[in-house]
Amino acid sequence: MTEISSRVLGTSGLKLTTMGLGGTGLGNMYRATDPDVAIATVHTAFERGIRYFDTAPVYGFGLAESRLGEAIRSLPRDKIVISSKVGYALVPISADEVAPVLWDQAPAFRPEFDYSRDAVRRSIEDSLERLGVDYIDMLAIHDPDEALAFEPGEDPRARSHFQDAMEGAYRVLDDLRSEGVIKAVGVGINQWQMLGDFVVAGRFDYFLLAGRYTLLEQEPLATLLPLCEQRGTQLVIGGPYNSGILASGPVNGATFNTRSAPPRVIDKVRQLQAVCARHDIPLAAAALQFPLGHPIVASVIPGARSVEELEQNLAFMRLPIPADLWRDLKDEGLVDPAAPTPAGR
């Protein structure tokens, strides 16, 4: 893959660039991002051809949306696609209440799940105000799995908000789509099993699936992805680096699912890296491009908290990768042999 191209998102008519910009870095995830750097990152993304920007109210408790809104004020609105999410209410906290630690230097809120119709409508109004726009192209039901990324053997429907999400949030979003207010309805989630329920329960244009269809793991390939294809639901892949380890490699402190990577993951990543090294291809480049081999994947959206990180991601996306690398990964049992792969050079 040598350029940032576009793919049409099903019947929505929206064109998503094959690489978008994820919004967690703009929201100070784990550590603060300088406001000017955040805005420069968005502007550079646009200058380099990226036209798809993802965000959410819970990212920095409104900070990511506000920063994206400030950045796009000088960009042509009709030339970009924005996706955001619903399902969290931002509740003000008192001065003596401990703020959540995930978002550094964030406004004084704590998130509460609320998929009710009234809460979803308020959430959309607040997002429009923070973004400074008249419309949002794509809206997803956020974290109905309570943001859990499950390990093997864990209950894939633990603490599920499926019913609340379908009876509340989905009905609001479906109505807005019918009215032409939004173009696409989705689910943004960290585990894939629940999506098998969503895909048959409603008409979803996309699922934003974080970390579950990557170079490291392809568990939904045989079941969920064919079902999505049948139903006309496409994927946007968040967390293509599995929250870090596919970018850093198996180094000390490498993260997987936002936690320290377990030995089984470190061992597999070491093997993936070795095969990539034989072809002089950075592991991160293979990780970023791999999901786009599947025809239902519309875009991958790595986060970037600086212009330098963005430029590195763009370089990885544009690097030609030989077909022999994908074949070797399959031959060594590191990638599912049935997984479609990008066309090699």
| Active-site residue set | 54, 59, 85
Q: At what angle do helices 307-318 and 35-47 cross, to 10 degrees?
A: 30
Q: Which of 217, 50, 74 is nearest to 132 (CA)?
A: 74
Question: What is the rounded distance in angstroms from the CA atom of residue 261 to the CA atom of residue 254?
Answer: 6
For the record, the structure tokens of 329 come out as 């990964």
Give me the residues paired with residue 149 across strands.
Answer: none
Query: Would you tell me how many other CB atoms lie within 10 Å of the CB of residue 274?
Result: 12
For residue 263, is it left (φ>0), alpha (ψ between -120 and 50) or beta?
alpha
Angle subtended at Cα 337 by Cα 20 and Cα 250, rounded to the nearest 5 degrees: 60
Buried-state track 39-52, b at ≥16 Cβ within 10 A, e below 16: bebbebbbebebbb
Residue 284 Cα to chain centre, angstroms: 16
Element (H or E) spanning 89, and its range?
strand 88-92
Token pair 């908000």 in the structure block, residue: 161
Residue 211 Cα to chain centre, angstroms: 8
